[in-house]
Amino acid sequence: MGEVYVITSGKGGVGKTTTTANLGSALAMMEKRVVVIDADIGLRNLDVVMGLENKIVYNIVDIVEKRCRINQALIKDKRFEELYLLPAAQTNTKMDVKPDDMVLLCNELKEEFDYILIDCPAGIERGFENAIAGAEKSIVVTVPEVSAVRDADRIIGLLRDAGLNEIHLIINRVRLDLVKKGEMLSVDDMLDILAINLLGIIPDNKDIVITTNRGEPIVTNEKSITGQAYKNIAKRIMGEDIPFLELDIRKNFIQRLFSTS
Amino acid sequence: MVFFKSKQNSKDVAKQRLKNIIANEKNNMTTEKLDIIKSEILHSVEDYFTVDRQSSEVYIAEENKEAAIVIILPIAKDNV
């Protein structure tokens, strides 16, 4: 039986889609069967980040409206045998999918895949409700900026209200140079405010700009520290105890990640 | 590592991908869908002609904000 994670943030532009694509790729690299779902109906982007934009024939709305079977809409990744994308529709709106549709869809996908990662749209309206409906676990992505952390806090509250109590945090675009100078919120600061499990820290790095331009995952780049950070997160999701990158300056930080499972 | 092999700047790749995406999006079309259209058309036409499949093409052409679907199906030489 697979596990369903929703990747969310409240605020747009913090790296949900990039995180979904790279975690999906990293899990598939470790021979897990993975499907990543783009829940941003009307503004799809996960296809582009994964370089699969030319392969779309059917989408999630076609499944919901029974124009195709689930397997017909799944797009096989270019690099990883075990990775599939379920694209969003571009011409429909979020109202064309109901939370109940997502529950049914996730239940079916769980039979076939080890991990189902849902890329949630920004905002807290219908798109968010759809994205979290079928999920059991959640990953909140934030960046070290006041607005993003405030939105993360709000989203954490909404996830708890919805009964999604397993919430993990990924802090994206951390710049150690600025943190050291005291000019950027530190991992510690953000954990103090948000008080949820830390799942990973992603350093701010130019590599991600280049790979995203090309529609490639960064996890295939062995030398990239960002790629390494995503691979570490994937391992933690799989239950391994992986220390945080050097960049984590919190001292004596020992936290059981999967204390609930 | 893949990007070190290519000579093309990643920003040029990004720009080209964007152009294609936006052009296809206006028509709710993707390369894969065009391939399906192509094979369906070939299927019908091949009842009457032998088509040179290798050189056949289906694409969306745009000019002055108007789009047309262009289908080129060369007839195989042994058929003429």
Angstrom distance (rounded) from CA A83 to CA B78: 44
- From A196's Cα to the closest Cα of chain B, the distance in A is 34
A213 touches chain B (CB under 8 A): yes
Domain that holds residue B65: 30-80
Q: Assess if residue B1 is contained within a domain.
A: no
Number of H helices, E strands in chain B: 3, 2
- From A215's Cα to the closest Cα of chain B, the distance in A is 8
Give yes or no for a contact between A9 and A149, defined as CB atoms under 8 angstroms apart.
no
Position A242 scores a pLDDT of 94
Q: Assess if residue B15 is contained within a domain.
A: no
Position A250 scores a pLDDT of 46
Q: Is A11 annotated as a binding residue?
A: yes
B54: helix, coil or strand?
A: helix
Taking alpha carbons only, the member of A205, A233, A234, A210 closest to residue B2 is: A210
Q: Assess if residue B8 is contained within a domain.
A: no
Q: How do residues B9-42 score in pLDDT, each as one tens digit?
A: 888 888 888 888 877 877 778 888 888 888 899 9
- What topology does CATH give the domain A3-237? Rossmann fold (3.40.50)
Angle at A160 between CA A158 and CA A162, to 5 degrees: 70
Structural domains of chain B, count = 1
Please report, for residues A1, A149, A224, B29, B57, the alpha-carbon distance to residue A129 in angstroms, rounded to integers and kept in the order given: 23, 20, 35, 28, 43
**Interface test with chain B among A50, A54, A55, by most B beta carbons within 10 Å:** A54
- Count of pairs with CB atoms under 8 A, one residue in A, one in B: 51
Q: Is A13 annotated as a binding residue?
A: yes
Q: Assess if residue B12 is contained within a domain.
A: no
Q: Assess if residue B42 is contained within a domain.
A: yes
**Interface test with chain B among A92, A210, A212, A219, by most B beta carbons within 10 Å:** A210
Position A259 scores a pLDDT of 37
Q: How do residues B53-72 score in pLDDT, each as one tens digit?
A: 888 888 887 777 777 888 88
Low-confidence ranges of chain A (pLDDT < 50): 248-261
